[in-house]
Amino acid sequence: MHVGRYQLVRKLATGGMAEVFLAKVAGPGGFEKTLVLKRILPHLVEDASFVEMFLEEARLVAQLNHPHIVQIFDFGEAEGSYFLAMELIDGPNLRRWQRQAASRGRPLAPNICAKVVALAAEGLAYAHDFADPGTGQPLGLIHRDVSPDNILVSRQGAVKVVDFGIAKVAGQKHRTQTGIVKGKVAYMPPEQCQADPLDRRVDVYALGVVLYELLTGRLPFEGATELAMMQAIVSRPPVPVSRHRADVPSALQAIISTALEKDREKRYPDCRALQAALERFVLSTGEPVGAYQIAQSVEQVVEERGTATPAPITNREAERTAPSGPAREKRAEVKDAAVFEQTTQQRPHKNVGATRGKKLVPAAVAGAVLLVAGGGYALLGRAPSGPDMPELARAPADGVGTKPTQGAPPVSSDLKPAQVAEAAPPPTEPSAPEEDGDLLAPISGNTVSTERKDGSARAMKGTVEFRIRPYAVVYLDGKKLGETPLGIIDVPEGNHTITAVNSRLGKRVTRSFEVKAGTANVFKLNLTQE
């Protein structure tokens, strides 16, 4: 199948807004390039507002040309639908990189973390300063959605910023409505939480949170709900880095503290200033850090090599807004950017107890190709072998495990009335480890299937897509598939038992689900309503 001049190799995923493919483009003399193609879903072609947002993204991001920003190669229209052709990245995003390093008892070195964030700051500084090529006027671009999911690191040591989908441009046609807060709450500075006018220091603050999380695996502010977290961001001091990790040099802790200043006038004035501070710190350690050292750090976590095959991506649902306040607070499904990993000539990781010959599969990735996503993450983990489902962590008394409207703290007087674009729950779990100690191994659509209980490997199968809010670790017939979002998987026809576990909410829900052969089956569950 072709879309314009691009041959579609396989579908990676279908989300609420677009479908994403691994694609190739061929040319004379045997030329061939592999890339990612994102196409608007047919029913959204009639949505003028969404199409305008998509076009705006294409116009904006196609102009950005920097080694630390994922590239857009092409934009076009074919068969009545618009598409973007994007760079394929071979490596994890920062969240997955950090989590897998921690799971192996090898926390990332402070100088490596500082260098990676410095390079991301360089890419963002370029975007902030980018001027219209025709007029020479600065566009005033702000990313507004910087997070560990939207910064990628490749096996070659390259660092890339992705997902400018909700980027704000001064004077842009498609404006954010007054009082709308967009982005992931955990990475928002106080002024964004309060719906104040924003400037480039929003991204400086977010990079400070990213660096904090990359070093510690935790967030500087915690809250059971988005509103509680916003209150903490506005009114409480961040938890010191040293409380979570004692070996982080005080000079680096001071840089993080400056980036996280509540008063933006006390923060670094822009990403270039933050980059300079981080580069000075790296030099002060006496250990050179470049692409080679970053690549080595990545290889320590992602050791296998093979032919490039992307892990699945899912798309962020169309942005919806809801009023904020004590009487109403809605949890959100905002999933984050995705990257592509290699399938391998696999060998087990001795340090995770894999047995000889046990197959490794690419881990599924949280995806967000809202308006631009060039990448995301995937790491290789052990294939699920059916461990017992974990006991849920005890839910704290401050509202976790209750419906979102229950246990919500009173609104701080510092918080202005604002509509909050539905945002993901905090991506890290500071109060409890992940649901078990195994490396997560979600299933890639065309690579893994589940046999029937009767052992018939040739049974007729259907596909299953899991749509679980806000997220969960999924078990199929007692076997762990991994944490959502998962790719579309093949499952034998018949009745199956699906269990969704979310320790943050204190929820474990089991459902019987019938899979029909030859059919695209969708399992839907909203844990906040259970």
Q: Catalytic residues, which ones? A: 145
Burial 378-394 (b: 16+ CB within 10 A, else e): bbbbbbbeeeebbebbe
Phi-psi region of 405 (alpha: psi -120 to 50; beta: other; left: phi over 0): alpha
- CA dihedral for 109, 110, 112, 116, sign (positive or negative): positive
Report how many helices (DSSP H) and strands (DSSP E) the chain contains, helices first: 10, 20
**What beta strand segments (E) does 88-188 contain?**
151-153, 159-161, 180-181
Q: Judge whether 88 and 308 are in contact, CB under 8 Å.
A: yes
φ and ψ of 135, to 5 deg: -105, -20
Of 367, 366, 419, the closest CA to residue 230 belongs to: 419
Name 103's bridge partners. Answer: none
Of 282, 275, 67, 287, the closest CA to residue 159 belongs to: 67
Q: Residue 102 in 3-state DSSP? A: helix
| Pair of tokens at residue 27 | 């040319």
What is the maximum alpha-carbon separation in the chain? Answer: 68
Question: HEC profile for 338-379?
Answer: CCECECCCCCCCHHHCCCCCCCEEECCCCCCCCCCCCCCCCC
Which residue shows structure tokens 């929003």? Answer: 202
How many Å apart are CA 359 and CA 204, to the nearest integer? Answer: 41
Of 226, 175, 228, the closest CA to residue 53 belongs to: 175
Of 364, 362, 88, 111, the closest CA to residue 214 belongs to: 111
For 192, the enclosing helix (H) or strand (E) is: helix 190-193
